[in-house]
Amino acid sequence: MELPIFYDEAEEWSNALLLYNSALKEINTKLEILNNEFKLAHQYNPIEHITSRVKSPQSIAKKIRHKGKELTVENIVKYINDIAGVRIICSFTSDIYRIADLITKQSDIKVLKVKDYIMQPKQNGYASYHMIVSVPIFLSNTVIDTKVEIQIRTIAMDFWASLEHKIYYKFEGNAPERIRKELKECADIVNYLDQKMLSLNEEVHVCNHNEVAEYKEIMSENYREMMKESYGSVIDDEDENDVASSEILSEEDVDSYQVEHIMEDLATNNIMNKDSKNKSKDGKKEEKKEKKGLGSFLTKVMTNSQ
């Protein structure tokens, strides 16, 4: 990222902070939209919650000195990629890669670097998915690409990483071997837990899908029986050649009509009840005519409802 020339370091850093904070807002807005869209399409939120921050001046100074560079705004912007950071917490490991893919497909986001610590965890057991991206920030007279680090992990991964950081902080980064070993064992347990929960979720999803399919089949059959009792058969095999193709209702049409109209009709007692024994011959002729026109009627209703 190239910064405009400013009068002094303080003003330069203030303008850099403006860019980083703006970049965080851009990323957070995109993630919120993607999450809401996914919920609308799949009735499921892949993102549990999102946190974001700009690195503290103390952390920035420590990191730039660790890299052996002079503490200047130019060096900070050039050599530190995680000044602006976003952390995305997901339910399952499959959600991590789904979110990463959605971010990558954003036309105005450029992925600069990826580190997959899920497929290849760190030696201490740390697991997460890291992305360094750049997002364009539109100022009044220019556009500046600004770097943001995105970390994506599960709830379990975040739990381990947060506590591991606190424990190491107490030892100032030099935890005893026994502590490091036990933390690694905890990381292995977290990994097993994530895999187990993912497996259970997939199993439940399959069961629910089968139950919904079975329920729809039962309701569709019940609906057909109800229509037969009220109007006669919707479409009989022997009448198939007599009915125009545009009048044939698909299973989806039947389900849709049932959900949107039949329950309401039942509640208000608008379903016609007929007694064929009390009808005259002329009435039967009218009834037969009505049965033949049912396909056109329902097709018209479904077309209007769309």
Q: How buried is 5 (Cβ within 10 angstroms: 0-12 exposed, 13-18 middle, 19+ buried)?
A: exposed
The answer to whether residue 149 is catalytic is yes
Q: Helix 177-231 vs helix 155-170: angle between axes, to the nearest 10 degrees?
A: 160
Longest dimension (CA), the chain: 102
Contact 125, 183 (CB under 8 A): yes
Look at the alpha carbons of 79, 80, 84, 90 in this order and tell me if their dihedral is positive or negative.
positive
Cα-based distances in Å from 22 to 17, 141, 149, 162, 181? 8, 16, 14, 26, 41
Whole-angstrom distance, CA of residue 222 vs CA of residue 65: 74
**Catalytic annotation, pick one of 12, 26, 149, 164:** 149
* Catalytic positions, written as ranges: 149
